[in-house]
Amino acid sequence: MAPGYRDDASVFARFVDYLRGQNFNTFPMTLAPSDGRVPLEALASQVSDFVEQSFAPEQRLDFVGFSMGGVVLRYYLQRLGGLARAQRFVTLGTPHRGTWIAYGSNRPGVRQMRPGSAFLRNLAEDADRLGKISFTSIWTPLDLTIVPARSSAIDVGRHERVRIPHHRALVTNRRSLERVAAALRETVGQWDSGTVGQ
């Protein structure tokens, strides 16, 4: 589980309690620094190190990313060999296509989350590779952090619209957590792509 901008593993506290109650093993990470001072590639390398140090080489894993953490995980999966380890990938309010809010800072990691950035264009070139695993992007149309909110969905895998009040509620609201648990229970390769709305 990878957290977002200016967050650490504690952002998943309620999420972890919920998933553990559903019999999932959870491994929330802290990516540091998470304030945009370093490029997102550096944070993705931390994911790679964590995976290599914490799990057996043959172990297949599920990945969950909140906000910026979802983009970091995409870089790990698409550029650092993570797809070979992955079976499911769920993002929550992740700026897959950027957010206009990122123009509020000139830090390198934040600039990479601007719409049309070289970083996001690079990931978009082969985003279809995510279709090889069970990929779900969950987003809320009321998100004022990812602007436009629809940037949290890409045309790969399944995207689910959940009408909850704000960005951070994606990791606390029960409806969102239920959607994540359902995605993590999916039999890999056994679902159709498309949009689910609420």
The strand pair at 158-161 and 194-197 is best described as parallel
pLDDT at position 188 is: 75
pLDDT exceeds cutoff 50 at 192: no
User: Which structural domain range is residue 26 located in?
Assistant: 9-188
pLDDT exceeds cutoff 90 at 13: yes
Q: Do the domain assignments include residue 89? A: yes
pLDDT tens-place string over residues 168-188 = 999 999 999 999 999 999 987
Task: Report the pLDDT averaged over residues 92-99.
Answer: 98
Q: Do the domain assignments include residue 123? A: yes
DSSP one-letter code for 57: T
Q: Do the domain assignments include residue 107? A: yes
pLDDT at position 42 is: 98
Please state, in angstroms and rounded to a whole number, the distance separating the CA atoms of residues 122 and 126: 8
For residue 115, what is the domain's CATH number? 3.40.50.1820
Single-letter code of the amino acid located at 11: V
Q: Do the domain assignments include residue 49? A: yes
Taking every pair of C-alpha atoms in the chain, what is the biggest distance, in angstroms?
A: 42
pLDDT tens-place string over residues 128-166 = 999 999 999 999 999 999 999 999 999 999 999 999 999
Q: Do the domain assignments include residue 83? A: yes
Task: Report the pLDDT averaged over residues 11-18.
Answer: 97
Tell me the CA distances in angstroms from 176 to 40, 44, 137, 165, 191, one per residue in order.
25, 25, 11, 11, 19
Q: Do the domain assignments include residue 197? A: no
How many structural domains comprise the chain?
1
pLDDT tens-place string over residues 100-126 = 999 999 999 999 999 999 999 999 999
User: If you compute the radius of gyration of the chain from its CA atoms, what whole number of angstroms results?
Assistant: 15
Q: Do the domain assignments include residue 80? A: yes
Q: Do the domain assignments include residue 67? A: yes
pLDDT tens-place string over residues 83-92 = 999 999 999 9
pLDDT at position 191 is: 43
Please state, in angstroms and rounded to a whole number, the distance separating the CA atoms of residues 188 and 191: 8
Determine the 3-state secondary structure of 58 from DSSP: coil
Task: Write out the DSSP string of 65-78.
Answer: EETHHHHHHHHHHH
pLDDT exceeds cutoff 90 at 197: no
Q: What percent of the chain has pLDDT over 70?
A: 95
